[in-house]
Structure 1
Amino acid sequence: MRHGFVAGRCELSSPSMQALTNLLFQLPQKETHRDGIPILPGGLPLVGHAPFNIGSPLTFLRNAASKVGPLFWTKNMGGWSLVCMGEPGFELLKNRVTSSEFIREQAPDFIGDSLLSRDGVPHRNLRSAMSGAFTPRGLTSSGAAAISAEVIEASVASLPQQGPFSLLAETQKLALDIIFRIMGIDRSELDAWNRNYRDFVMGALPVRIDLPFSPARRASRGRRWLDARLASLISAARGKPDMKGTLAALLAARDEEGNALGDADLIQNLRLLALAGHETSASVMAWLGIVLAQRPDLWEKLRDESMAAPGLPRSPEELKRHPFAEALFREVLRMYPPVAFTAREATEDLVLHGRRVRRGTMITVPIGAYGYDPAFFPEPENFDPSRWMGRRVPPSAIETAAFGGGPHFCLGYHLAWVEVVQFATAFARELTRRGVRPQLAPGAAPPKLRHLPFGQPPKKTRLELVRAA
């Protein structure tokens, strides 16, 4: 029997969002096309379509595409952006006719000169040096997978015994704890790292006014603290040849030319990829728990698989013992993508959906929308882990589009995969040991996907643990 998952269905068929999109098309506008490509109606003075794109961008963009087609202009505070839906948009992520280097100028303090803002040879050299530490085997050999399992088991064991609680708050703490532990940070410093990291991420906001207590001032202060501590960690790690974890693996890594990573590259990328990357794992873990709280049938399957295993997986071979936990990870990622969209700048004139696009155009690629495309996923509004079971080939590039694509595919993808499978297994084993199962707290409605900026469940969503039948 196939079960429809109501929370996923509500996200794409929200009556309020549909009504809002219909309203936009009734508003008068002076220009209807730009370079022969439709302009999405309803842009407001100064802010354009930005207010309508906040919170539910995937619903907004899909509704817009149903009205004007897969290629259309939107306007926001930063200017015009061309939205490209469908497979032609995904092809742009290969960076054959596009670039990511504009990100350095748009977010110099937050992104900086990291992997995300490099292209060509500089990007290839840096990624070749870093990628080994983040593969499944690299995570095993460095001890990172074992550290992750240890943190997750301890965190799940400390979940509240009684009363409603926010699973997102719990997964955010444990995901950040994992990152800090695999970087060799002492437990006694976790609160300070967490506090300064939270200040640092303020740099992702488009507010550049530098005043006391402003986001820009807090972000700058947080970055200085993190950079100083990362430099100290790197210096200390260089004197510990037997040290375990991802930082030690990165220090030992070499690029295609045999060069080691310099301190500046390590700091830039650890600050962004290692720290900011934990948000995606935390989001997927929280959504997974919320799904299980609404689907007893899925809970029972996960429970049976988890209890049959000797423990949490710590290697690629052990991951194979948890096919259902992996299927849950992939289906949650498909329906609740942590990132809604990314962007690229055209480096030459090109043709998209039969229309000519000029060099220098900023193009939005809605990577979170591919999971809802019926061309790739039949009945996309149904939460159905069985679509991932029994497959003989790994997921295609577009099936993992929630983590990007092309040369900038997320370096932390495998770490997230390992973490979420470990979390699902530990969650099921610990709750079974207690004789309880998860369910939504009384009065709680199934949460909807919102991106502010990550696709996390609302923090007010509460779970409770009830006696299992």
Structure 2
Amino acid sequence: MPTASRPPAPPVAPGRLPLLGHALELWRRPLEFLDGLTAYDPIVATHLGPKPSYLLTGPDLVHRVLVTDAASFAKGRSFDKLRPYLGNGLATSQGAFHLRQRRLVQPAFHHRRITHYVDTMARFAAERAASWRPGQVVDVTRQMLELSLAIVTSTLFSTALDAAAAAEIRRALPVVLRGMYTRVLDPTDLWHRIPTPGNRRLADAHARLRRVIDHLVRTERADPAGERPDLLSMLLDARDADSGEAMTERQLHDELITLLVAGTETAAGGLAWLFHELGRNPLVDERLHQELHDRNAVPPTADRLPELDYTRRVVDEALRMRNPGGITIRRAVVDVELGGYRFRRGTEFIFSALVLHRNPRHFPHPRRFDPDRWLPDRPAVPRGAFLPFGAGHHQCVGESFARTEMLTVAATVAGRWRLVPVPGVRVRGVMTSTNHPDNLLMRVEPRPRTP
């Protein structure tokens, strides 16, 4: 029974429509809708169709669902909708199979391995920055998406990737990303079955992406000699500790497409928002550049990255205020009690880092971009309030990779250029599988010489 201090059911978020629920709001103005939910504590009902799902705004409840009581919850329907595109990779699998796959994939993202990729990350970032000219206006979101895709494909497939395969991935992946989000938000589960031009483009792009990954795997398998520096070679060599078995062809394919999808948009969206905030906060931008100069970190190297304390706080603040993640759904597999309410088995719960990270109860002045809120002497953030990459057994396996990429690219680009907002251009957040800024046009200005 609910506690006496609570109504019999959680409040319902405003803007609910018949049949569609809040799906249209999440499609048309996702960030504004999610921002409005920080006013609720600790649970608010939302509808992605006729049935309610319950968004958790209390960090203690999120921690329970993702960590403490994780066995009482399974991945929700959004992951079921993603399975036709991602297969049964880490993003969609669960239970014993998920844990087995995670053990096989995890060594490829050990911090010692990540340091080997810093030079590749810095090289691609430097080449991208060198292609710009003083005064040029660039679409930063597009630039960061192309840069992240180049970094991910090169670290995944360093010995097998050729120009044709890279171009095919660049063409197909954005179509698949957008299509997946549309599929997740469809409250009827019918739209994807209609042969619309958009659905045909999605099916074609998905088929082309699968073919190119199969080609890359075959290419790398055909040349097994020597020590290979990429993630694909590590996945090919991985063996289960209990059975000694390698991944099947299907498992390997599913993990690779998952890493491609997750590793491209997350870092790209985070970097685009980071440069947006640096442009809006010139004092932060100047302080970051001064640290890069003082630490002799232009260009950055693996041994210099740990010294960039302020740059790291800038990355953390970008991940807080403009987290590129979307929403995550968990389904109760038993009857549960959360926040003084009882819910039946099958009820779905949502958490969003965007809601948690912009909650004024846990982050004073949440819309102020303040990297110093992460100084060690500041009040500790409550457990569960800052989850840029999730938590528990399903925490993003590539968190260290994504953080290192953001730090390396931010240092490389900011060491050479200042990206300045274009007057009169309205930037808004949009959601595909992640959150990223749309129409982020910025003018490239050379850095003045630092004394």
Please give the range of the TM-score, normalised by the shorter of the 2 chains: 0.7 to 0.9
Is 1:169–1:459's contact at 8 Å kept on the other side of the alignment? Answer: no
Deviations 1:166-218 (A, max 9, x none): 11111111101111111221234322221122333324422413426332x22
Q: How many residues align?
A: 426
3-state DSSP class of the match of 2:85? Answer: coil
Matches within 5 A, 1:6-405: 36-64=9-37, 66=39, 69-77=41-49, 79-87=51-59, 88-94=61-67, 95-100=70-75, 102-140=77-115, 143-182=116-155, 183-184=157-158, 185-201=161-177, 202-206=179-183, 207-211=191-195, 213-215=197-199, 217-238=200-221, 239-240=223-224, 241-257=226-242, 258-307=244-293, 308-315=295-302, 317-390=303-376, 398=384, 400-405=386-391
Amino acid aligned to 1:218: R
3-state DSSP class of the match of 1:126? Answer: helix
Amino acid aligned to 2:387: A
3-state DSSP class of the match of 2:441? Answer: coil
Cα offset for 1:65? Answer: 5.8
Task: Say if 1:444 and 1:203 are closer, same or farther in 2 by CA, change over 3 A.
Answer: closer
Task: Say if 1:77 and 1:102 are closer, same or farther in 2 by CA, change over 3 A.
Answer: closer
3-state DSSP class of the match of 1:74? Answer: strand
Is 2:122–2:299's contact at 8 Å kept on the other side of the alignment? Answer: yes
Amino acid aligned to 2:228: M
Deviations 1:308-342 (A, max 9, x none): 32544453x43212111111111001000112321
Cα offset for 1:392? Answer: 11
Cα offset for 1:452? Answer: 4.5
**Greater CA drift, 96-105 or 163-172:** 96-105
3-state DSSP class of the match of 1:345? Answer: strand
Task: Say if 1:314 and 1:466 are closer, same or farther in 2 by CA, change over 3 A.
Answer: closer
User: Higher relative contact order at CA 8 Å, sep ≥6: structure 1 or structure 2?
Assistant: 2
3-state DSSP class of the match of 2:84? Answer: coil
Task: Say if 1:383 and 1:39 are closer, same or farther in 2 by CA, change over 3 A.
Answer: closer
**Greater CA drift, 206-215 or 347-356:** 206-215
Task: Say if 1:259 and 1:395 are closer, same or farther in 2 by CA, change over 3 A.
Answer: farther
Instruction: Output the CA distance in 2 between the equivalents of 1:179 and 1:393.
Output: 36
Task: Say if 1:123 and 1:391 are closer, same or farther in 2 by CA, change over 3 A.
Answer: farther
TM-score (structure 2 length as normaliser): 0.85
Cα offset for 1:375? Answer: 4.2
Amino acid aligned to 1:451: M
Matched residue, 2:421: 440
Let me know the Cα RMSD of the aligned residues.
2.8
Task: Say if 1:107 and 1:429 are closer, same or farther in 2 by CA, change over 3 A.
Answer: closer
Gaps of 5+ in 1: 1-32, 432-436
Gaps of 5+ in 2: 1-5, 184-190
Amino acid aligned to 1:325: T
Amino acid aligned to 2:49: M
Task: Say if 1:154 and 1:273 are closer, same or farther in 2 by CA, change over 3 A.
Answer: same
Cα offset for 1:386? Answer: 1.2
Cα offset for 1:466? Answer: 6.1
Matched residue, 1:27: none
Instruction: Output the CA distance in 2 between the equivalents of 1:191 and 1:350.
Output: 48
Is 1:284–1:336's contact at 8 Å kept on the other side of the alignment? Answer: yes
Task: Say if 1:42 and 1:381 are closer, same or farther in 2 by CA, change over 3 A.
Answer: closer
3-state DSSP class of the match of 1:99? Answer: strand
Cα offset for 1:111? Answer: 3.1
